[in-house]
Amino acid sequence: MELIYPAVIIILGCVALLLFLQWKNLRGPPCEGGWIPWFGAGFEFGKAPLEFIEKARIKHGPIFTVFAMGNRMTFVTEEEGVNVFLKAKEVDFKLAVQNPVYHTASIPKNVFLTMHEKLYTVMKEKLGTSNVYQFTGQLTEELHEQLENLGTHGTMDLSNLVRHLLYPVTVNVLFKKGLFPTNTKKSREFYQHFQVYDEGFEYGSQMPECLLRNWSKSKKWLLALLEKNMPEIKAYRSAKDNPMTFVQAMMDTIEMEKNEQKQPNYALLILWASLTNAVPVTFWTIAFILSHPSIYTTIMKDISSVFGTAGKDKIKVSEENLKKLLLIKWCVLESVRLRAPGVIARKLIKPVKILNYTVPSGDLLMLSPFWLHRNPKHFPEPELFKPERWKKADLEKHAFLDYFMAFGRGKNQCPGRWFALLKIQICVILIFYYYDCSLLDPLPKQSPLHLVGVQQPEGQCRIEFKRRK
């Protein structure tokens, strides 16, 4: 009896230790779950999602889970978690976005999964660094046409001005010259429907379409436009001397895989991806430059040294010119850093260990470029607009700064990033070359509601522009 008693204690102790170790091993990250079933923390999270993420990080540390609207989203905010997000074989991009793609563009999940890699390869190739400068001439020409429509002077909301330049330019360059409606009524309809579709995209990606009547109407309008014009978009390539456009290359790939009935749906996705982020980034770039007079003055001197007195001639922009206007590129990149997308997501297909926690399979692993860019360890004085921090990036070798994630990173990063940077740089150069500009309102705050994509300005910011003589 005397011997059995200590033995039982030892065995129980070992069992307890084993259970503790197992529990520790399987322990998930701390969770913000709210108390309402299924909704979880949905209400609080939805009110101001970016703020919610930061408060949860301060409360729980570098990894935490948010349970909202039936989804488990595990956020990683520091090195170890970021590395898993970018490199682990247990994370999957396609599975994370297949639902939003289905809701927003009606592309069935099986079609999306089978087509994704082939289409991504085409996009990477067509818009990659070795091909992207081919767009320089067309972008400049299209921007000239749109700037003509601006007239000699005026006052406009800066977001609207950027939309009126970049929507037609992007559609005509990537899809087909002349596709953007020139008729006033039709083009007004396009602006309205695209704006409704874009603004409702975040809700539309999660909720049944029948609950979002206006959004659904705009989605259908855009799909119908693309479907009606599909034969023309595809036929354009056969016309003499016209190289195949980016969208034609995509449509070809879809046709080869016998999914041509989904061509308008993919065209809608490309339309959205190519417009949604580029417009606010151009807005912020112009607004940041104009609210930093010494930077504006230096940029104007640079522009004059490359093209001669600003406003004098009709200019052509070349790759060589762009290389000499590095400060403008730094300003674009610094604006993307400061107003970066709220989150990017991956789906976990197997459990992963991060910082002593086990994150279960099925979780959405989330990374916030917006908050990562505010970590002073990686970006000193993170809240300041400091284009000169980009001096350290090896842009010649197409490398961004470490921990810059506005375009994602790794094998799923944005295939349109070089095209976006090119288009925005040329747009900023031409506006400043031809127009003397000033902001009539203070730099707006960013809207607190945006999680997907680049941060949007909250409210209006008017710009006054006067054609230089």
Residues near ligand HEM (CB under 6 A): 93, 120, 123, 127, 273-274, 277-278, 281, 336, 341, 344, 406-408, 412-417, 419-420, 454
DSSP 241: T
**What residues are paired with 259 via a beta bridge?**
none
Closer residue to ligand HEM in complex, CB, 127/251: 127
CB-side neighbour CA atoms (13 Å) of 304: 11
CB of residue 430 to ligand HEM, shortest distance in Å: 18
Closer residue to ligand HEM in complex, CB, 118/445: 118
Alpha-carbon distance 286 to 299, whole Å?
11
Residue 430, Cβ density class (10 Å: 0-12 exposed, 13-18 middle, ≥19 buried): buried
- Crossing angle of helices 326-338 and 417-434, rounded to 10°: 120
Would you say 405 and 417 are in contact if contact means Cβ atoms under 8 Å apart? Answer: no
Q: Which residue in this structure is represented by tokens 């046409």? A: 145
Could you tell me the end-to-end alpha-carbon distance of the chain, in angstroms, rounded to an integer? 106
Closer residue to ligand HEM in complex, CB, 408/457: 408
Listed in sequence order, the residues at least 6 apart from 246 whose beta carbon sits closer than 8 Å to its beta carbon are 123, 126, 127, 174, 175, 270
Closer residue to ligand HEM in complex, CB, 286/336: 336
CB of residue 340 to ligand HEM, shortest distance in Å: 7
CB of residue 116 to ligand HEM, shortest distance in Å: 6
CB of residue 290 to ligand HEM, shortest distance in Å: 19
Strands 352-354 and 357-359: antiparallel
C-alpha R_g of the chain = 25
Alpha-carbon distance 278 to 111, whole Å?
27
Closer residue to ligand HEM in complex, CB, 218/412: 412
Closer residue to ligand HEM in complex, CB, 65/276: 276
- If we measure between CA atoms, which residue out of 280, 340, 337, 300 comes closest to residue 461? 280
Closer residue to ligand HEM in complex, CB, 161/173: 173
The helix or strand, by DSSP H or E, that contains position 85, with its residue range, turns out to be helix 79-87
CB of residue 82 to ligand HEM, shortest distance in Å: 12
CB of residue 50 to ligand HEM, shortest distance in Å: 15
Closer residue to ligand HEM in complex, CB, 315/352: 352
* Dihedral-angle region of residue 403 (phi above 0 means left; psi in -120 to 50 means alpha; beta otherwise): left
CB of residue 456 to ligand HEM, shortest distance in Å: 12
Which amino acid would we find at residue 335?
Answer: S
What are the backbone dihedrals phi and psi of residue 109, each rounded to the nearest 5 degrees, phi first? -60, -40
CB of residue 16 to ligand HEM, shortest distance in Å: 43
CB of residue 124 to ligand HEM, shortest distance in Å: 9
DSSP 379: S
Alpha-carbon distance 88 to 106, whole Å?
30
CB of residue 123 to ligand HEM, shortest distance in Å: 6
CB of residue 312 to ligand HEM, shortest distance in Å: 30
**Alpha-carbon dihedral sign for residues 51, 56, 62, 67:** negative
Taking CA atoms, 454 is separated from 21, 192, 218, 282, 340, in Å, by 42, 20, 21, 11, 5
Closer residue to ligand HEM in complex, CB, 152/206: 206
Closer residue to ligand HEM in complex, CB, 40/416: 416
Alpha-carbon distance 31 to 325, whole Å?
47
Closer residue to ligand HEM in complex, CB, 277/456: 277
Buried b (16+ CB within 10 A) or exposed e, 276-292: bbbbbbbbbbbbbbbeb
